[in-house]
Amino acid sequence: MYVIFLGAPGAGKGTQAAEVAKELKLAHIATGDMFREAQKKGTALGMKAREYMEKGQLVPDEITVAMLLERIAAPDCSAGVIFDGFPRTVTQAEALDKALTKQGKAIDRVIYIKVAEEELLTRLGGRWICRQCQTPYHEVVSPPKVKGKCDKCGGELYQRDDDKPATVKERLKVYFAQTAPLIDYYTKTGKLAEVNGVGAVEAVRKAILGSLKKGTPARK
Ligand code: AP5
């Protein structure tokens, strides 16, 4: 099964994708995590991506698509993937469709996690992430048991540079201009299911799993 998690920055894509991928035994590909990993390693790709990420802009399609196509060729992707943060432009969506078609596959479902803008700002302002396993926490809604430490692996928690208010504002602007058009793109394919991303993390997960196990509900 090939599934896309679509939604604004802070909608909960990463939180949900990690657990849903585990439950359904799918690979989890998060392009933002891949870029941050490349930066940590100091690769040319990482340095190039940093120029855009620190401004809240998208990394150019040619760079992102090349990285993604290499990743989906890996053996762990053959049974299915949850794409988290990709595609983010129509050009990326078309490149993904083309690559999957070549393998005799296709996107099965697009889960659009919908959250109002005000809530997104609160979420990103309070987010802490594990440096080792990338698990996200929120200082109010889902704090770690021990301040500054990941419950899962004990790793150090940090706040992303691009979660600063000015950069978040730019990321949201970029989302509405360049990524939100994908809602219509995938609605036209009949594969998009809208899920309310507001509520307890477990309740949102249940709604996503329900939507993946049943047919695709129409968009509200
Ligand atoms: P990326 O890392 O993909 O960031 P994003 O899409 O902006 O998404 P976030 O990680 O901010 O949010 P999320 O939806 O995963 O929310 P989360 O689960 O963490 O991209 C970063 C940058 O990389 C981009 O700006 C761009 O420069 C570049 N990039 C990446 N992919 C690219 C691409 N395809 N093309 C070009 N450039 C690309 O949750 C957020 C917070 O809310 C957490 O604190 C969490 O604990 C909390 N939370 C989660 N669920 C709930 C809930 N139900 N209730 C209350 N709080 C909740």
| pLDDT (tens digit per residue) in 153-183 | 999 999 999 998 899 999 999 999 999 999 9
Q: Is any atom of ligand 1 closer than 6 Å to the C-beta of 144? A: no
pLDDT for the residue 215: 61
List pLDDT tens digits, range 31-44: 999 999 999 999 99
Best substitution site from 13, 62, 86 to test ligand 1's pocket, by max atoms within 8 Å of Cβ? 13
Ligand 1 and 182: CB distance under 6 A: no
Q: What is the mean pLDDT of the chain?
A: 94
Instruction: With a cut of 50, say whether residue 50 has pLDDT above it.
Output: yes
For ligand 1, is residue 13 a contact (CB within 6 Å)? Answer: yes
Q: Is residue 85 assigned to a domain? A: yes
Into how many domains does the chain fold?
Answer: 1
> Partners of 18 in the beta sheet?
none
Establish if 105 belongs to a structural domain: yes
Q: How far is the CA of 127 from the centre of ligand 1 (A)?
A: 10
What does the alpha-carbon distance between residue 116 and residue 79 come to, in Å, rounded to a whole number? 33
Mean pLDDT of the 38-67 span: 96
Backbone angles phi, psi at 191, to 5 degrees: -105, -5
Is 180 contained in some domain? yes
What pLDDT is attached to residue 177?
98
Let me know if residue 145 belongs to a domain: no
Question: In this predicted structure, what is the pLDDT of residue 80?
Answer: 96
**Residue 37: inside a domain, yes or no?**
no
Q: How far apart are CA 73 and CA 9, in angstroms?
A: 27
Here the CATH number for the domain that contains residue 111 is 3.40.50.300
Residue 18 has pLDDT above 80, yes or no: yes
Q: For a pLDDT cut of 90, what percent of the chain falls above it?
A: 93
Instruction: For residues 205 and 74, give the distance between their C-alpha atoms in angstroms, rounded to a whole number.
Output: 27
Q: Does a structural domain hold residue 63?
A: no
Residue 156 lies in a domain: no
Determine the pLDDT at residue 213: 87
- For tokens 């809604």, name the residue: 141
> Which residues have C-beta within 8 Å of that of residue 148, sequence separation ≥ 6?
128, 156, 157
Residue in 172, 165, 180, 217 with CA at minimum distance from that of residue 195: 217
* Residue 191 banded pLDDT, cuts 50, 70, 90: very high
Residue 95 falls inside a structural domain: yes
Phi/psi of residue 82, each to 5°? -105, 120
Structural domain that includes position 209? 2-26+79-115+165-213
Q: What's the pLDDT score for residue 220?
A: 46
